[in-house]
Amino acid sequence: MRDSTSLLWKVLRTGKPIASVLYEDFKSREELIELSYLVAPSDYEVRRIEEAAEALEEDKLGTLLLLAPKSEIDTVRRLDHGRDILQKRRAPVVLFLLRRGSGLQELAVRRGLAAMLREQEVDPDQVDEAEVETERDRFAREHKQTPEEWLEAWRAGQKADTPENNLTLHQALLLERERRGSRPYF
């Protein structure tokens, strides 16, 4: 999630009026909202809201708003309709949308709002997947084996029990787990 944190940090500082963050489930949404509070610029008041209408209120144009909508479709429609007001914002609205959810489907037909969100999207899963692949490539270069090949040799007793190999074992197990999406086994 390290790269997700830095992307979120950057998107909150671009000066653009709106950004979106995709999440997989409600637990991850809450974690991302909490992270947003932590990485938000200190010169903004930060508030969590559930209704798009609040993002369009004159007195909230300078407040960084974390919008976790009750109805994603209605929220996307309302924000698209209020694009002129959104352009006046001095602090961004961060719209949290469920990956593969109704809000993203609605956004596909709301080209004006979609254009405003271009390059203002944080998708932690895509970032984290790219980070895992980078780490897998680094592991393969460094050890001349994929994590799975290294683990196969270790499980067959072909690797010595050394502190260095124990560290490598943990790295390989983590990378194997990420690839399989499950727990490692010994």
The SS3 call for residue 66 is strand
Fill in the amino acid letter for 158: Q
- Residue 122's DSSP bridge partners are 21
As for how many domains the chain has, the answer is 2
| 102 and 149 belong to one structural domain | no
> 0.85 cut: is pTM over it?
no
- Is residue 160 in some structural domain? yes
| 73 and 26 belong to one structural domain | yes
- Is residue 186 in some structural domain? no
Range of the domain at 165: 127-180
Instruction: With residue 107 as reference, give the H or E element that holds it.
Output: helix 102-109
- What does the block give as tokens for 14? 């671009």
- Is residue 50 in some structural domain? yes
| 88 and 139 belong to one structural domain | no
Neighbours of 33 (CB within 10 A): 18
| 79 and 103 belong to one structural domain | yes
Phi, psi of 57 (to 5 degrees): -75, 135
Question: What's residue 139's pLDDT?
Answer: 84
Question: What's residue 182's pLDDT?
Answer: 41
For the chain, list residues with pLDDT below 50: 1-2, 182-186
Per residue in 103-129, pLDDT tens? 999 998 999 999 998 877 777 666 556
Q: Point out the domain boundary residue: 72, 106, 122.
A: 122
- What does the block give as tokens for 113? 């709002």
Whole-Å CA distances, 82 to 17, 127, 137, 149:
12, 30, 45, 55
